[in-house]
Amino acid sequence: MENKSSGNRFSGTSSPEKIAPPTKKVSNSSLAKSIEIEEKTLLKEKSAPIPARFGAGDLLALLCVAIWSINTPFVKLLLGNVALPPFELAIIRYGSGAVFYTLYVLLREKSLKVSLKHLPLLALAGFIGIGLNQICFVNALSNSTSSEVSLLMAVSPSLAVLFAWVIGQEKMNLNYWISLPLALGGVILIVMTAPGSNVSGNLVGVLYALGMALTFAIYTVLLRPLFAYYSVAKLSAYALVVGVVTMIPYALVQHTNFSFDQFTTISPLMWLVLLFTCLSVIVTNFFWYAAIKILGASRASVYNYLQPFGGVVCAAIFLGEVLIALQILGGALVVLSMILYRSGLSGLIAPLQKFRARKLVVETTEAINSNA
């Protein structure tokens, strides 16, 4: 799953209410805690009651997962069938997103102004979360399969939790340390059972894929405190611009033979694929934030667990990739580790208990009806 900032989960169709910065000096952990309380308050005030049945919010979340799942094999298709160098393609895709969000913010908010004290954090987030993330993404797809990249991206939430703990944004609980071996075991299964695994190719791609997961994890954590001050559209605009600027020197060093004549060799089908990947940078932001607004962050995040396997299915459909059972098991372990961290053992057992309770009710009702 490539970067979602772009393909970012913290995205939106409307600007959140601005919250005045704290007037007194507080520690990083206190600031993080106060911002978390403010974000929860905003969500409670602005969100409608979370629906119990499948509805518009669930549909939007599923659309996001579908787009993200399709995007990775589509980029792999572009890398293999378009004459443009890989990083020129990345600059086109994310450059279009940067232009869109910049214009969107100017039209809706009338200003791109941010506080000078927040610029270093914004620049760092864009550099790591867009620039370095896409460098890792392109190299991962060039040296590995689309399926492996999709499965390895599932470890990103675990890395985000770890990084947030390191910088003092979150407190680590026992659930994380219980879930970590599952995540590591899943990654090892994905890597070591890959067909044709070798140090010069596949494992290099795996390392880039893990770098992609890590950079996206850092990106989400770095931006988290800024959501209390700015709309997601404005944060996306800054991050995308910085990310594109980061990629330009790398593209120039890697490829010195760029020519506009290369655009004439792109087939109509590949133009459609390129258009899809450009739009995915934009529309998923709106869909995901709308889903969170309707469902709440916890329920919406459940749909993230479908993405690694959606990516595998799409890679099989569009690229003809074959994934062995042990790699699927590895992906399942990674996803299970994050469910365990968020819900604990009781959260894993609860659905089974509910199923048994419902089954007992049905059996009791049938028994009563048969004796009546």
Q: Is 7 helix (H, G, I), strand (E, B) or coil?
A: strand
Residue 51 and residue 57 in contact, taking contact as beta carbons nearer than 8 Å = yes
> What would the mean pLDDT of 265-275 be, rounded to a whole number?
91
CB contact set of 91 (below 8 Å; sequence gap of 6+): 244, 247, 248, 251
- Tell me the per-residue pLDDT of 114-145, one tens digit each, with 9 for 90 and over: 999 999 999 999 999 999 999 999 989 888 88
**What confidence score (pLDDT) does residue 49 get?**
52
Residue 237 CA to residue 342 CA, distance in Å, equals 30
Q: pLDDT band for position 6 (50/70/90)?
A: very low
Among the residue ranges 112-126, 185-199, 272-286, 325-339, the one predicted with the least confidence is 185-199
Tokens found for residue 19 = 């919250």
Q: Is 48 helix (H, G, I), strand (E, B) or coil?
A: coil
**What confidence score (pLDDT) does residue 183 get?**
75
H-type helices in the chain, by residue range? 28-46, 56-81, 86-109, 119-126, 133-143, 146-152, 156-166, 174-192, 202-223, 232-254, 268-295, 297-302, 307-319, 325-371
**What confidence score (pLDDT) does residue 51 get?**
54
- Tell me the per-residue pLDDT of 57-106, one tens digit each, with 9 for 90 and over: 888 888 988 998 899 999 999 988 887 888 888 999 999 999 999 999 99
Among the residue ranges 272-286, 302-316, 343-357, the one predicted with the least confidence is 343-357
Of 202 and 274, the structure prediction assigns the larger pLDDT to 274
**What confidence score (pLDDT) does residue 104 get?**
94
What is the end-to-end Cα distance of the chain in Å, rounded? 56
Burial of 288 (0-12, 13-18, 19+ CB in 10 A): buried
Give the residue among 208, 154, 211 at the shortest CA–CA distance from 184.
Answer: 154
- Tell me the per-residue pLDDT of 7-46, one tens digit each, with 9 for 90 and over: 444 444 444 444 455 544 444 454 445 445 444 544 444 4
Question: Measured between alpha carbons, how far is residue 92 from residues 89, 247, 273 in Å?
Answer: 5, 11, 13
Burial of 46 (0-12, 13-18, 19+ CB in 10 A): exposed
Of 49 and 85, the structure prediction assigns the larger pLDDT to 85
**What confidence score (pLDDT) does residue 67 get?**
92
CB contact set of 218 (below 8 Å; sequence gap of 6+): 128, 129, 159, 160, 163
Give the CA diameter of the chain. Answer: 84
Checking if the pLDDT of 199 tops 50, the result is no
Residue 104 CA to residue 119 CA, distance in Å, equals 20
The amino acid occupying position 51 is P
**What confidence score (pLDDT) does residue 291 get?**
78
> What would the mean pLDDT of 148-155 be, rounded to a whole number?
80
H-type helices in 116-266, by residue range? 119-126, 133-143, 146-152, 156-166, 174-192, 202-223, 232-254
Q: What does the mean pLDDT of the chain come to? A: 76
Residue 153 and residue 1 in contact, taking contact as beta carbons nearer than 8 Å = yes
Residues above pLDDT 70, as percent of the chain: 71
CB contact set of 142 (below 8 Å; sequence gap of 6+): 79, 86, 205
Residue 238 and residue 246 in contact, taking contact as beta carbons nearer than 8 Å = no
β-bridge partners, 7: 4
Of 239 and 50, the structure prediction assigns the larger pLDDT to 239
Checking if the pLDDT of 277 tops 90, the result is yes
- Tell me the per-residue pLDDT of 342-363, one tens digit each, with 9 for 90 and over: 666 555 555 556 666 666 777 6
> What would the mean pLDDT of 289-310 be, rounded to a whole number?
72
Residue 307 CA to residue 277 CA, distance in Å, equals 16
